Amino acid sequence: MKKACVFVALLLVLFLSVFGVQSQLSTDFYSSSCPNVLKVVRREVFKALQTEMRMGASLLRLHFHDCFVNGCDGSILLDGSDSEKLAAPNLNSARGFDVVDTIKTAVENECNGTVSCADILAIAARDSVVLSGGNSWKVLLGRRDGLIANQSGANSGLPSPFDSINTIITKFNNVGLNVTDVVSLSGGHTIGRARCVLFSNRLFNFSGTGAPDSTMDTDMVADLQKLCPQNGDGNVTTALDRNSTDVFDNHYFKNLLNNKGLLSSDQGLFSSADGVAATKSLVESYSSDSSLFMTDFVNSMIKMGNISPLTGSNEEIRKNCRVVN
């Protein structure tokens, strides 16, 4: 009897060591329940990018902001006074919600009640990268949708461009991501735009020095001072990856080597003393080796997409991404 118990326990340990640590998500999750879902999402993302190339960046960011707040559970898509949409990092900033609605409608028409909003964000993020010129990967699927938004969690957990690099590293560590992920995923800023209010502190009187941030290229300072005058419209935008705006490539890292990072948190990866020089050497590597950047970016996207997913019969598959069923 005792022997049998030990045997069963050993089997269990073996079973868990083989399967337990594996993600519960799989790339073929919808292969029989919704075989065309990838085509449908891709078609809708393609249409959205034809209308506005920047939408690829906006969709990529939605997946990131979803995953960092209590896992990839579609929580960022929920409407309401307690929504994550109203948290500081998202207010007047996160965009693409209408496009997600359009994708969801198309997916529901294909196979209703089957594909989660959280998975739609993961697929749309991948398609956005690919349609912008980046490498592709197989998206792990099978996430389910959460029932609650977490506005305070969004305020505290999402990185701010005013955070130090060490604080940003800590926020990534808190969701199971490391320094490599910080730098590779920051490469997401190879597409998209940011508003003056998020970097204008660098342009005139940086940290009370009476001068612009010395780690910003002087021509770029002059140009941005015109675009973002003091007391001007803080919602005016400019490219995160100057001179390579809509292309998913490693130009973002080349810019950092030339003091042309837009956000303090971008340039800090190369110029700050934080991160024990690890971020700086990764920036250098990615700037000279675009395939290393793409490989690491893809691996980090898969890691980020694996943050605390709801699986099995937990919670629900939302019918409308904005409200719980």
Ligand X SMILES: *[C@@H]1O[C@H](CO)[C@@H](O)[C@H](O)[C@H]1NC(C)=O
158-166, 184-192, 235-243, 305-313 -> range binding ligand X (CB under 6 A): 235-243
136 binds, among ligand HEM, ligand X, none (CB under 5 to 8 A by kind): none
Given a contact cutoff of 8 angstroms between Cβ atoms, the answer to whether 35 and 26 are in contact is: no
Q: 52-81: which residues touch ligand X (CB under 6 A)?
A: 70
303 binds, among ligand X, ligand HEM, none (CB under 5 to 8 A by kind): ligand X
At residue 60, φ and ψ (nearest 5 deg) are -60, -45
Q: How buried is residue 55: exposed, middle or buried, by Cβ count under 10 Å (0-12/13-18/19+)?
A: buried
Q: Which is nearer to ligand HEM, 159 or 309 (CB)?
A: 159
At residue 23, φ and ψ (nearest 5 deg) are -65, 145
Q: How buried is residue 41: exposed, middle or buried, by Cβ count under 10 Å (0-12/13-18/19+)?
A: buried
Tokens standing for residue 201: 């502190």
Tell whether residue 73 is among the known ligand binding residues: yes
Residue 149 CB partners (closer than 8 Å, separation 6+) = 75, 76, 78, 80, 82, 83, 84
* Per-residue x/- track, 242-261, ligand X (CB under 6 A): xx------------------
16-24, 132-140, 161-169, 203-211 -> range binding ligand X (CB under 6 A): 203-211
Q: Which is nearer to ligand HEM, 49 or 60 (CB)?
A: 60
- Binding positions for ligand HEM, rule: CB under 6 A: 54, 57-58, 60-61, 64, 93, 95, 159-161, 168, 182, 185-186, 188-189, 191-195, 198, 240, 263, 265
- Kindly list the catalytic residues: 65
